[in-house]
Amino acid sequence: MENLYPRTVIDLIKLKSNVETLLGKAKENGVTISGVVKGVNALPEIIDTLVAGGLCSLSSSRLSQLEQVKNQHPEIETLMLRIPMLSELERMILCSDISLNTEITTLKAINDCCQKLNTTHDVILMVDLGDLREGFFEDEHLFEAAILVENNLEHVHLRGIGTNLGCYGSVQPDQTNLGRLTDLAAEIERRIERPLGIVSGGASTSVPLLLNGSLPKGINHLRIGDNLFLRDMENYFDYTFPEMHGDVFTIEAEIIEIKEKPSHPIGTITVDAFGNKAQYQDIGSHKRALLAIGRQDLGDLTKLVPYDSAIKLIGGSSDHAIIDITNSEKNYQIGDVVSFNIEYELLLYSTSSPYVYKKFIKGVS
């Protein structure tokens, strides 16, 4: 298994360091973290490392992954990130301690299911602050749901409220929208006459506020995946977190062809295998290498970042990535392996793909 490609190399020593670093920063600000494992397919070795690093809560939108967490670490609190389907409630309750919710119908069904199972379940009511994915949009509807859970659903416990920003509508978390979340939490606390345990201020896009000290007081919980594993968000947001390792995950792919070829396809241009009409720039002949890895393995190949900065990514297809090695000082040969840093989409695809092998670095790094 040592020399099988393509593969993702995962440095568990650096990952544990990242967990400890982020938890330390969160603790300074009175914030707890639920580590999101959906982006790494809840790989068992990664789950163990996240727990060893100090995480007490892990979350996912996939029940099979939460079941994996509970099988490995029954003591860990689990959080269901996607609003549950009515068809999966019993399974969800058995493997998830908390779920995010926005529908009265679902909340009542959770209560009924818990009654049958002779158990209880915690919920976080989600608020839509403008990103337009899940969440109560009208304040009074949120308050009505909170009071219903508090006073009428005996087997459901209102743990808190939360929001999602950035995943659909690309709305950036800031003091204004997260400040509104804390205001809503305060009003719910006034109406139910007790404090909420969780005010969850979003996901990895809220980390810049955590770092610069502008996370509104009252936000005490974040759901973090990307920032534990990568540093790609620093490319899109105005912040840096140099204490974190950005090379926990490395993609390695083997060269299967090296040829000197034109840069522009020859013939009538239509669409590629995915129905897209690409634009090709004619820059003359260049030295191209084919790699045995493609979009079926990784998704968007343009998010590959070669460690050899002289390599240029040209494109690819389902099973191939094409790179320009003309300007590289290295004399690449057939069978050589090219290494890449990655962004979130590639992390999600590669850790889930059965066609991408996984190699774990567990020793001294």
Q: What is the DSSP string of 10-40?
A: EEHHHHHHHHHHHHHHHHHTT-EEEEE-GGG
Residue 78 main-chain phi, psi, to 5 deg: -115, 145
Q: In angstroms, how far is the first alpha carbon of the chain from the final one? A: 21
| In the chain, beta strands by DSSP E | 7-11, 32-36, 57-60, 77-80, 98-101, 121-127, 156-163, 198-200, 221-224, 249-261, 286-291, 305-306, 312-316, 321-324, 337-341, 357-361
Which residues have a catalytic role annotated?
38
pLDDT mean for each 10 residues of the chain (365 residues): 90 99 98 99 99 99 99 99 99 99 99 99 98 97 99 99 96 97 99 99 97 97 98 94 98 98 84 80 90 97 97 96 98 99 97 98 74
How crowded is the C-beta side of 187, counted as CA atoms within 13 Å?
13
How many Å apart are CA 63 and CA 72, to the nearest integer? Answer: 14
Residue 155 contacts residue 115 (beta carbons within 8 Å): yes
pLDDT of residue 365: 47
Task: Compute the 3-state secondary structure of the chain and give helix, strand, coil in percent, each to the nearest 5.
Answer: 35, 25, 40
Name the H helices within 161-294: 175-192, 207-212, 226-229
Where do the structural domains in the chain lie, given as residue ranges? 31-234, 249-361
**89: number of Cβ within 10 Å:** 20
CA distance 331 to 329: 6
Under a CB-based contact definition with an 8 Å cutoff, are residues 45 and 37 in contact?
Answer: no
3-state secondary structure 43-82: CHHHHHHHHHCCCCEEEECCHHHHHHHHHHCCCCEEEECC
Q: Retrieve residue 265's tokens.
A: 């396809």
Structure tokens at 336: 């050589």
Global confidence as pTM = 0.95
| Burial grade of 314 (CB within 10 A; 0-12, 13-18, 19 or more) | middle
Instruction: Specify the pLDDT at position 283.
Output: 85
- Please report the pLDDT score of residue 17 as a whole number: 99
Alpha carbon dihedral 135, 140, 145, 150, in 10-degree steps, equals 130
Task: Give residue 271's pLDDT.
Answer: 77
What is the β-pairing status of strands 337-341 and 98-101?
Answer: unpaired
| Residue 195, token pair as written in the block | 């404090």
Q: For residue 106, give every residue at least 6 positions away whose Cβ sits within 8 Å of its Cβ, in sequence order, or none.
A: 83, 84, 86, 89
Query: Please, what's the b/e burial string for 341-363 (b: 16 or more CB within 10 A of its CB; e: otherwise)?
Result: bbbbbbbbbbbbbeebbbbbeee
Distance of alpha carbon 282 from its chain centroid, rounded? 37
Specify the pLDDT at position 1. 53
Place domain 31-234 in its CATH homologous superfamily. Answer: Alanine racemase (3.20.20.10)
